[in-house]
Amino acid sequence: MTDIFENAVHSIQMGIEDFQSNDERRPVSALRNFYAGVLLLGKQCLLNAAPDADPMDVLASKFAPVLNDDGDLVHQPKGFQTIDLAELRERFKAFRLTWPAGEIKDLQKLRNEFEHYHSEAPKEAIRQAIASCFPLVEGFFAILERSPKAELGDAWDVMLAEKKFFEKLKRECDGTFNAIAWWGEITDRAQIRCPTCGSSLLYQEDVDNSDPAEIKGRCKACADSFSAEQTVELLVETQFGADDYIAAKEGLDSVIHDCPECSNATYVETGDTVKCFWCDYAISGRCARCGTSLGVSNMSVNNSRVCDYCDHMMSKDD
């Protein structure tokens, strides 16, 4: 192993030590060190895949075309800047390496915020970012065929405990919504994000409440509270936001709409789901005049029994 691997291990260990400290100045150091260590592990995976190559030929961010002594065109590293996270992922593909499971974007975002904007992110948000990154670290060690416990020592035990602790909090937060009838339909719960701090630890204060209109949402990480409308809209966006984005890119009708009944952005219309998650209103049936299926995009606002076109034609007849 090269010095990069040793630096990766030391950076992760220092990051965990900083994270455990009660010193208010240490969170930025924890994020900086842990993030750097994870990237260095990934870079070591690239070096292992090309053991005979010059390290800069593998890790350089920029290359310049030059002619060698034989007059052949070759590409040499330009400067000493090495690849960033996005380039690391691209180079994994180029080296036919599988990018491990795990999420590092939250860690990157928090690290950048602390570096440049003096983020006020709570320790729970940092805990979540580190826990989300845990499978990626484990995956890099697997590629390197090294034991994370043997290399990281006590830091590995702390990471395991953090992952276990976060997963426990996540289950508890998710469980507070169990009384809501449609909660089982919200499957991508890990992607719920607090709009204030980015944590996915959202919960409702009254675990027995079954009425979406009575939800009192709160974030376990930053303690911000959210109205019932905000909470339901966040949950709907979590589950259907990606579908809505894809539909917009492909020029199709939106998936998430303002509900014709309650006006909240909680009405969903897909092949499988047609209803408002706030008031349970659902459009069904066919136009009484032309027989076309009715939906939120074509139902007349003046007459719920007919489509827009027929309502227009009927008004002309009048």
* Average pLDDT score over residue span 164-186: 90
* Average pLDDT score over residue span 272-298: 90
Instruction: List beta partners, residue 286.
Output: 293
Condensed to tens digits (0 to 9), the pLDDT of residues 114-161 reads 777 666 667 778 888 888 898 999 999 999 999 999 999 999 999 999
Q: Tell which wins on pLDDT, 191 or 148.
A: 148
* Average pLDDT score over residue span 74-83: 86
Confidence band, pLDDT 50/70/90 cuts, at residue 56:
very high
Confidence band, pLDDT 50/70/90 cuts, at residue 271:
confident
* Average pLDDT score over residue span 163-181: 91
Beta strand ranges found along the chain (DSSP E):
63-67, 73-77, 202-204, 217-219, 225-226, 256-257, 267-269, 274-276
Domains of the chain, residue spans? 3-173, 176-249
Residue 193 has pLDDT above 50, yes or no: yes
Condensed to tens digits (0 to 9), the pLDDT of residues 211-244 reads 999 999 999 888 899 999 999 999 999 889 888 8
Give the number of other CB atoms < 10 A from CB of residue 29. Answer: 17
